[in-house]
Chains A and B, each alone.
Chain A
Amino acid sequence: MAASWRLGCDPRVLRYLLGSGGCRRLGLVRGASGWSFGRGASWRWLHSTQWLRVDPIKILMPSLSPTMEEGNIVKWLKKEGEAVSAGDALCEIETDKAVVTLDASDDGILAKIVVEEGSKNIRLGALIGLLVEEGEDWKHVEIPKDVGPPSPASKPSVPCPSPEPQISTPVKKEHIPGKLQFRLSPAARNILEKHSLDASQGTATGPRGIFTKEDALKLVQLKETGKITESRPTPAPLATPAVPLPPQAMATPPYTRPMIPPVSTPGQPNVVGTFTEIPASNIRRVIAKRLTESKSTVPHAYATTDCDLGAVLKARQSLVRDDIKVSVNDFIIKAAAVTLKQMPDVNVSWDGEGPKQLPFIDISVAVATDKGLITPIIKDAAAKGIREIADSVKALSKKARDGKLLPEEYQGGSFSISNLGMFGIDEFTAVINPPQACILAVGRFRPVLKLTRDEEGNAQLQRHQLITVTMSSDSRVVDDELATSFTTIGTSTGLKLGADLNTQSQKGLCWCLLPGIPRKQTTWYDSTLPTL
């Protein structure tokens, strides 16, 4: 035979070649017969490598740290079509802790990058790339439909021994949709799971019918506006197990990833035996850390006194009549600043070895935001007038609530004031913000009847507006004596402020309210207090 002559061996070997087992050789026999029917079609059939193709090796998202559930792909270190040998770095994956490189475990060619670099929040087990062996056609590699961790669709041959009603497996949605019509993008899947929504409630608008992240976000918006309700893709876990077996063993079908102890999933709170974690925002974490540090390392001492702010209230009312809005808090800030100027021994901070006197008088004012408590600073409060202080407080509070404070606006400060009076607190003690030395906790107004003597010496019941202030001080730098003098002087300064302001307003002179008065000019408070 010409064939045998061509190939240089005898017919027996040719028959061996043609007849021996192995899919290729079977195909060869088929090919030969196919050829006899129609040359054109069979050539094409022979040329197609369909029956020669081995399944491409899937590259799945690995768990590179024990706590990792999803990761981001930072960078692909190999390009499509590039040869890869075992042990080469394929891509860099950002885990919750660090950036780790993913190594290839086989030799081959990187056929397809399924998830591009820069993609975020790719779940564990999602398909991120495909590798084919050398010699394979990498350009026409097919992306497999099931893009998730191995599906539990292949039911275990041994039936689960549990007599309980089976919880239908927390199936990753893409298996079933993969078999039906649509696919979920990994980001969409994450969002849907978090909000316990089902992809069938929305429409897939991505290319090739993929349910994209935008579709998921739209669904979430609809849910928020109440248009659709949560529909958990898995039925809620057993309310009461029929048999009182420990929920762990039965709550998870044995053929999916075992979760013992049961882990709470966002969007499915209160599964039997779990607790719901509320992730702390960065601010809260920092606050927690600093306050714990402060309370445990700084020896707090407390001094409480009542202030009679009747005069201040009157002053405030007269200012309001002139359309100048100031709050009592502003008066307190001013009084504290002035007292600090008088008593520089309290304007200190503990620098690890001893008290360090601070050259500035910056008062931090505590503002409550939904992210946590933050303290913007009024710089150089002693030099500012009440109105200026009021304006800065308002501006800084707004910035704080919007989350737009610059670091220099909340870092630093020599003294803090926290006012919970508007929330109805009578008195409270505050935690010092390190490295400051003191914090003043201001309560609310309460009207108190007091027995006083009036000018003629007759007993009279008078109504006073008192507020309780408690100063927490760091005993290392501000001892009890200093604290006491500060509070008493502070209270009297406050009274004086009010009184002077009243007299000033009566005289029609309100120097203090003019902003930006340079220090050199004698302002009204300087004249009433002992010069420094």
Chain B
Amino acid sequence: MVEHGDIRVVHRGGSKINFRKPVITNDSRFLLCASGESVKVFSTSTEECIHDLRGHTDLVTGVLIKPSNHLQAFSCSADGTVRLWDFTDGILIKTYVIGYPIFSIHASPHHEGVIFVVTPMQGDKRSGELFQLVAVHLPQSGDQLVEARELSAVLTGISSNPAATVFGRGGEYIASANGLQLEVYFFKKQKAYRFSLKEDNKKGGKNTFTCVACHPNDDCIATGHEDGKIRLWRNFNHKKEYTYSTLHWHHSAVSSLSFTPEGTNLLSGGIESVLVQWRYNQENQRDFLPRLGAAITHIAVSPDGALYCTSHSDNKITIIQSCVKVSAVIQGLVKGESVGTDLMIDPRSKSLVLNGKPGHLQFYSLQRDKLLYNLDIVQQEYIHESGLQQFEVVKAAFDASGNWLATVEERKQKGAELELNLKLWAFDEQTQSFVLNTTISAPHEAQITGMCFSHATDSQTTMLVSTSKDGHFKAWQLAAQSQTDADEGPSWSCDFVGAYHGLVPECCSFSADGSLLAVSFQEVVTVWSPASWELLTTLSQPPKAIRNLCFGRLSCSKYLLGTTDSNLLCCWNLLTCSLEWSTSMDVSLLLADPLSENMAAFCCQAGCTDLFVFKPSEPRPLFSQKAVCSGMVTRAVFAPREEMLESCEESSQWLNRSQLYFLTQYMDLMTFTTKTEEERLMASSKQLVIDDSVAMTPFYLLLGKHRQQQQGGDDPQSGVSAERTPLPQGSVAIKELLQTPAHVLPSTSFLCSMFVQSLLISVTDSREESKHAEEEMESEKEEEDSEEEIESSRTRPEQQAAVGGGEAAESAAPAMTKAQVRELRRVKKLDHSWLAGLLDS
């Protein structure tokens, strides 16, 4: 076996953004959320991801704005560290090592220098279930890496759910719910009160606590419960005279509760995917924001109360303006419990296609890590209720050109017949989306096991083959033109029904040129000619059923590969109709790269999955990696690259044309990356980080590129780039001064002398002086830019052109004109007044 050091398995996009409650910054411009092993900073207005704060080595379990500095944020992780970030610049400021896995983080502005983290209980055999809230005194030290050892337990036996622990009014108390018990701990009195509920009430409602929220100004704790009730607790500083009122609208568990910053409203959400806004103290008046798409898992409110944001179970964050309007949706890769369809690549957009929202197919751009759009397949209202059987998309296939999409949806109800629909979608050039062409209800009598299009790109007719558990496989063809109604376009109809000895067909596969169709009937592989529908040959490798079937590509198209349940990988030569070679391995998934001869086989061994990449014609694997991930891999896809990778190393050449993505059993999307690719990515990410807090919108990127090009174009135009002397340090200093955040800068007095020095102009060539001035002007403009982005960028090209023109003229006539001298003076004066203003401030 060959081990390759430079190929790594990485998360690349598609990680959960709904794992923990997102945080909106004080100015409501950014949204921070934990996403896998990093913290993502999104712009609330443009939905773009601005920064990816990387540094944790395990799952990030909580994000929090630092209460004493609203420009910094804490994040905690299961790797036992708390990190402090400057999220506007994406800089890691400090790392506090706690030493125990952390499950959530809490802080209050009234407890300065202390953060509260939830860790598993130590020295307890049942530590898997019991957690404690620990106060961590953050040591004051200038080091990057600080070990925080001053820990003190506050509450023990609490829930690990971060929504179940919350600070009360003014940080005076902390409320924590676990199971059927609510515990309120008063810091001043150091006294805890516990309130328990009965397990069930008479009407069968479950009283288990699910979440807690505290009113910011009043002593009122709102708790959500399993049966959909919300209780508002008051007078909880008495053992006995506590009281609560009950609100009931949700029919299932309340998953999240949040008070608005002024405490005028209470927000609640649950599986109904309706955001409910209760007026505090007038609970009969409620506002609803329905149809949010999926069950609400978290609710966050911006500190100024203008924005609400809800996380949803379909990996989505919705930003809502004052409970009326959905203003932005940040959609991650939608991941359900499982993927019914295979992972597919849309040949047109090169996006990853798989099950998305219930009843939808999602088109997810892997390059941009963004959901492009959802295609509603089922076209039925989804009812948000657990345990309800609804139509699901179970199979989907694209044809080679991406003109046709076939989908299968099914609904299996207990005691009722299976409902099946085969839908064929045509790509509409005008609307740039798929339009339903044909719906075939009940295409088969039983579940469809496999479906594929003929891959031939040159043939006039497209063919679809579907295999079913009813013992038949059917070929569907686009009828040229129906005679009855001419105004309707061509539609699909059944062309051929095939069977083989009453066996159940499992897999089907077309050869690359579309001349052969292989259908596996348990242990027998039948090869058919789609042109004449005659059975050409049968191949058999007893004793177990065929699991995967795959034709070779390009130079290896004469080979047909199959895997069986009895841990066998076979390769048949179709010219000789004989077994070329076979090897014993438990292949869970076999797939062919459409752009090369390569084939990838995922083998499940001892709870781990190994990957082998090979060519059917060569006995040695091109690449193999053991223990790619734990568990079985059942879904994977080769995604073609946008631009080819030039890797000369033999072991990583198979990744040149396409990239291999696969889903682990925990629904994590992983991929393989090479060193060169990583380097390129790092470089590009550095490029992206040059500018400051401007949201990285596509519009900005477009203009930014344009500007860069112009700047590039400037130099040859001026023709002096070669002879340009190193610039005085002034402009750099200004840039540094203005672009680094205030809290990391040294004191002003220290900076001042350096700054003033930099502004003194050494008497050299006058032309250089003017250039210097220009440079300064430019740097000045650059920060204007940050304030009025659009305006300045609109005016820039003209200015640049003017400057460029001026310079050109200058080089032609070395002596300065009077006007130029005057201008230079003006610039200097302007500069100084600006500096004075800065120093005054």
Q: Do A and B bind each other?
A: no
What residues of chain B have their CB less than 8 Å away from a CB belonging to chain A? none
